[in-house]
Amino acid sequence: MFHQPTEETRIKKIIMMDINNQIQEFNHKNRAAHTFRFQYISELLSQKGIDVQAIIQKIIDFQIAIPSWALGTGGTRFGRFPGGGEPRSLEEKIEDIGLLHQLNRSSDSISLHIPWDIPRDPAAVKSQLQSQGLKIDSVNSNTFQDQPDQPFSYKFGSLCHTDAAVRQQAIDHNIACIEHGKALDSKVLTVWLADGSNFPGQQHFRRSWQRTADSLASIYQAMPHDWTMLIEYKPYEPNFYSMVIPDWGSSYSLCQHLGKNAQVLVDLGHHLPNTNIEQIVARLMHFGRLGGFHFNGSMYGDDDLTTGSIKPYQFFLIFNELVDAMSDPAVKNPPLAWMIDASHNVKDPLEDLMQSVQNILSTYAKALLVDRVALAAAQENNDVLAAEELLRDVFATDTRALVAEASRQAGGAMDPIGVYRSLEIRKQLIENRGKKSVATGL
Is there a cis peptide before residue 349, judged by omega within 30 degrees of 0? no
Judge whether 85 and 437 are in contact, CB under 8 Å: yes
Which of Mn ion, ligand LRH, none does residue 302 bind to, with CB < 5 to 8 Å depending on kind?
ligand LRH
> Considering the complex, what minimum distance in angstroms separates the CB of residue 395 from ligand LRH?
27
Angstrom distance (rounded) from CA 195 to CA 182: 26
Q: Would you count residue 271 as binding Mn ion (CB under 5 A)?
A: no
Selection from 157, 142, 233 nearest residue 189 by Cα: 142
Q: Give whichever of 140 and 203 is closer to ligand LRH, judged by the CB atom.
A: 140
Is there a cis peptide before residue 115, judged by omega within 30 degrees of 0? yes
Q: Give whichever of 38 and 248 is closer to Mn ion, judged by the CB atom.
A: 248
Angstrom distance (rounded) from CA 395 to CA 389: 10
Contacts of Mn ion in 189-218 (CB under 5 A): none
415: alpha, beta or left? (left if phi > 0; alpha if psi -120 to 50): beta
Angstrom distance (rounded) from CA 131 to CA 18: 11
Q: Give whichever of 229 and 419 is closer to ligand LRH, judged by the CB atom.
A: 229
Q: Give whichever of 125 and 337 is closer to Mn ion, judged by the CB atom.
A: 337
Amino acid at 185: D
DSSP letters along 220-252, please?
HHHS-TT-EEEEE--SSSS-SSEESS-SHHHHH
> Considering the complex, what minimum distance in angstroms separates the CB of residue 70 from ligand LRH?
8
Q: Would you count residue 267 as binding Mn ion (CB under 5 A)?
A: yes
Q: Give whichever of 245 and 401 is closer to ligand LRH, judged by the CB atom.
A: 245
Interface residues toward ligand LRH, by CB under 6 A: 69, 140, 192, 232, 234, 267, 294, 302, 341, 442
Q: Give whichever of 42 and 359 is closer to Mn ion, judged by the CB atom.
A: 359
Give Rg (Cα) of the chain. 22
> Considering the complex, what minimum distance in angstroms separates the CB of residue 435 from ligand LRH?
25
Which of ligand LRH, Mn ion, none does residue 140 bind to, with CB < 5 to 8 Å depending on kind?
ligand LRH
- Single out the residue of 117, 137, 324, 341 in contact with Mn ion (rule: CB under 5 A): 341
Count residues binding Mn ion (CB under 5 A): 3
The footprint of Mn ion (CB under 5 A) covers: 267, 294, 341
